[in-house]
Chain A
Amino acid sequence: QSELTQPPSASGTPGQRVTISCSGGSSNIGTNTVNWYNQLPGMAPKLLIYSNSQRPSAVPDRFSGSKSGTSASLAITGLQSEDEADYYCAAWDDSLSGWVFGGGTKLTVL
């Protein structure tokens, strides 16, 4: 069982906006920043969002992140077929002195 809770699946049609939630607790999201990764089939994970809402330079601005309290969310606007992937949230956990990941959300572009 993951320390961070994500919905197992999400879907949308091309051009739509979708959001993926990530729920944690006071020792992880409540205290530390959240990072998001996506993983295309058969590939290594890739950093998508760091420090709650910052995008690496190569990530399109269609991707955005936010955090409130002990929850975070990833939003994808203008959904494209190549966005079909697994998405993971992660945060440092002060109680565990380690990183915790969400269980992952499989995004399907219909």
Chain B
Amino acid sequence: QVQLVESGGGLVKPGGSLRLSCAASSFNFKAYYMSWIRQAPGKGLEWLSYISPSGTTIFYADSVKGRLTVSRDNANNSLFLHLDSLRAGDTAVYYCARGGIAVPGAAAFDIWGQGTMVTVSS
């Protein structure tokens, strides 16, 4: 079935970096905008970034701009997140989510991964 599966979470030291992957299956991945969204423990949802179907347009939330890099590999139906200079406030469950196929703000996140937990601690 249509599915997103994140991987790469775990315990990371402050100041370090993390790389997460999101594997897509059973849909035409290269046609869709994709986003990363995170949720700190006990907190709400925070949108981090979207990437266009071709990967040529990427937008980042101000809260992570300069530290976050998002990319995709359409040949392998994969989405990636790379976050540098980690701090305790980056501790969260990180979700990848499918957006629409037109302009980025025109469609909802209709498919979500199960999330991967990242803990930033020494």
Contact = CB atoms under 8 A, between A and B. Distances in A.
Interface of A: 2, 32-33, 35, 37, 44-47, 50-51, 56, 86, 88, 90, 92, 94, 96-104
Interface string B19-37: 0000000000000000101
Given A2-B44, A44-B114, A88-B44, A96 B62 contact: yes
Q: Helix, strand, loop or mixed for chain B's interface?
A: mixed
Interface residues of B, number: 23
A98 B109 contact: no
16 contacts: A33-B106, A37-B45, A44-B95, A44-B112, A44-B114, A44-B115, A45-B95, A47-B110, A50-B108, A88-B44, A90-B47, A94-B105, A98-B50, A100-B47, A101-B44, A104-B45
Interface in B77-122: 95, 104-110, 112-115
B110 A32 contact: no
A37 B111 CA distance: 11
Given A32-B105, A50-B107, A99 B112 contact: no
